């Protein structure tokens, strides 16, 4: 049997039918002993109080009144009374069973009261001043079972089956419908439709299936973001590679013409070298980002963070253009944390060089805040970033300025590499606009990253 729906349906149907049948049997036959004793007393009381009045109605020629009294007594006390007349007629709600007839014969033969408390709860005696024998019988079935009667067993089973089948169908449908929505959604994703979402269809209750739907939507959104980012990265990388390649081809052609004409081609050769270096740097950054995206930390060792930041600041300040921005480090105490020194250096260096690139003049301040976690802040005096782009600047190939060829240059990979490097160390990197202009980039790093590395 394939599919969850038929299995759920049959399981619920069979289980509910069996439970209903078991309760019916228990209610019918499992009468507690105290109830049986109580009913036996009712037999004796009913015989003593009611039989004479019933027999009087029979003797007066009103058997229908006697039958009415017997039925009323039966409904009120769960006791059936049978009157056996000397002429062989029987006054009773229904034909007496063999055990009742046998007890009546024993009473008639002995002339004394007889009780039977084994197979059936019976009490019989000879009515005074009459040859009529009265036998009282405890009814061992409840009122609802007597109302249905044994002759309606097939109808009862049919009704139970229909009701339980309807309830089981609804229950199985409720359980399997969300799974069907999830299955159709996965098929649409397989066919390339990444916009599909299922939470709105199955989020009818706060249960595990609804949580699964929300997790599915989160997964679909993440997959869509990654694929769009990959497509954007490939498009941007193609653009970044085509630009220096076009300039290389043009410079190469011009250099050939100059060499052919006997002119000096030194400047063109220098231009070719610069473009080749740009290509090499771009390819190196792409490979670095790919390595960080698909790998963990090569090794985790104690790193002297203050010494590392001092080296980065010293190199960035030394390489700065005359009259340009200066880079300084606020004095701090020694800080040591676990991590990969080269990856941490690359992250901090990319943030500092990005600040230098966007600051024409003024001072770039790098500060360290000890504690756990440790915070590295880089404050520049550049143009800042629009509020809606403070997160996007850490995505690959995302730059705020619309002109990709402006003098700040860069391929837009530096901050993306820094973000991934920080995340590998279990930290976070954020940016915010500073008061008075400029940008502040904060790198927050935990002291220990061994656990973080295992889950990266």
Q: What tokens does 16 get?
A: 């509910």
How many beta carbons lie within 10 A of that of residue 369, not counting itself?
14
CA distance 381 to 361: 8
Q: Under a CB-based contact definition with an 8 Å cutoff, are residues 81 and 51 in contact?
A: yes
State pLDDT tens for residues 167-194. 778 777 777 777 778 888 888 888 888 7
Identify the architecture of domain 32-139 in CATH: 2-Layer Sandwich (3.30)
Q: Give the DSSP per-residue string, 139-161.
A: --S-HHHHHH-GGGHHHHHHHHH
Q: What is the mean pLDDT of the chain?
A: 76
The catalytic residues are: 239
Nearest alpha carbon to residue 415 among 385, 373, 370: 385
Question: For the sheet containing 90-91, what is the strand order?
Answer: 90-91, 79-84, 133-138, 121-126, 114-117
Q: Under a CB-based contact definition with an 8 Å cutoff, are residues 443 and 376 in contact?
A: yes
Enumerate the domain spans of the chain.
32-139, 213-294, 301-455
Buried b (16+ CB within 10 A) or exposed e, 69-86: bbeebbeebbbbbbbbee
Q: Is the pLDDT of residue 109 over 70?
A: yes
Q: What tokens does 419 get?
A: 């973000």
CA distance 71 to 92: 8
CA distance 52 to 93: 17
Q: Under a CB-based contact definition with an 8 Å cutoff, are residues 378 and 351 in contact?
A: yes
pLDDT of residue 406: 41
The residue ranking higher by pLDDT, 135 or 129, is 135
Q: Cβ contacts of residue 399 below 8 Å, gap of 6+?
A: 393, 410, 412
Mention the CATH class of domain 213-294.
mainly alpha
In CATH, the number for domain 301-455 is 3.30.565.10
State pLDDT tens for residues 258-309. 777 777 778 778 878 877 877 777 777 777 777 777 666 777 889 899 999 9
pLDDT over 90, % of the chain: 6
pLDDT of residue 142: 53
For residue 435, name the pLDDT band (cuts at 50, 70, 90).
confident
pLDDT of residue 205: 55
CA distance 336 to 446: 10
The residue ranking higher by pLDDT, 251 or 312, is 312
Q: Which residues in 56-146 belong to E strands, given as ranges?
A: 79-84, 90-91, 114-117, 121-126, 133-138
Q: What tokens does 219 get?
A: 């997964």
Could you give the C-alpha distances from 406 to 358, 400, 401, 409, in angstroms and in order? 11, 11, 8, 6
């Amino acid at each position: 049997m394939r599919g969850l729906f038929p299995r759920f349906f049959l399981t619920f149907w069979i289980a509910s039918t069996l439970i209903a049948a078991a309760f019916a049997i228990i209610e019918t036959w499992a009468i507690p002993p105290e109830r049986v004793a109580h009913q036996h007393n009712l037999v004796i009381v009913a015989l003593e109080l009611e039989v004479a009045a019933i027999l009087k109605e029979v003797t007066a020629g009103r058997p229908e009144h006697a039958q009415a009294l017997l039925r009323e007594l039966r409904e009120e006390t769960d006791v059936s009374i049978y009157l056996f007349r000397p002429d062989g007629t029987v006054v009773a709600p229904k034909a007496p069973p063999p055990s009742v007839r046998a007890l009546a014969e024993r009473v008639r033969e002995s002339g004394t009261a007889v009780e039977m408390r084994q197979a059936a709860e019976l009490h019989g005696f000879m009515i005074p001043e009459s040859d009529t024998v009265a036998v009282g019988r405890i009814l061992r079935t409840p009122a609802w079972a007597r109302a249905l009667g044994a002759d309606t067993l097939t109808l009862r089973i049919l009704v139970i089956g229909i009701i339980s089948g309807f309830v089981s169908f609804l229950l199985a449908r409720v359980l399997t419908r969300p799974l069907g929505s999830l299955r159709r959604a996965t098929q649409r994703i397989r066919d390339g439709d990444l916009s599909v979402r299922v939470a709105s269809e199955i989020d009818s209750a706060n249960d595990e299936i609804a949580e699964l739907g929300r997790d599915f939507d989160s997964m679909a959104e993440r997959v869509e973001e990654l694929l769009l980012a990959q497509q954007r990265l490939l498009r941007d990388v193609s653009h970044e590679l085509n630009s220096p390649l076009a300039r290389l081809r043009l410079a190469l052609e011009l250099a050939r013409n100059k060499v052919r004409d006997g002119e000096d081609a030194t400047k063109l050769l220098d231009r070719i070298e610069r473009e080749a270096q740009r290509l090499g740097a771009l390819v190196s950054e792409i490979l670095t980002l790919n390595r960080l995206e698909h790998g963990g930390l090569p090794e985790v060792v104690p790193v002297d963070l203050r010494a590392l930041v001092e080296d980065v600041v010293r190199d960035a300040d030394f390489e700065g253009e005359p009259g340009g921005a200066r880079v300084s480090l606020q004095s701090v105490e020694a800080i040591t944390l676990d991590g990969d020194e080269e990856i941490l250096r690359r992250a901090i260096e990319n943030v500092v060089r990005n600040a230098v690139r966007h600051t024409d003049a003024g001072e770039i301040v790098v500060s360290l805040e000890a504690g756990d976690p440790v915070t590295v802040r880089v404050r520049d005096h550049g143009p800042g970033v629009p509020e809606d782009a403070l997160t996007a600047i850490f995505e690959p190939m995302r730059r705020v300025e619309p002109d990709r060829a402006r003098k700040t240059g860069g391929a837009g990979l530096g901050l993306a590499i820094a973000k991934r490097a920080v995340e590998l160390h279990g930290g976070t990197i954020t940016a915010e606009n500073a008061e008075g202009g400029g940008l502040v980039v904060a790198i927050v790093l935990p002291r220990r990253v061994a656990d973080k590395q295992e889950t990266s």
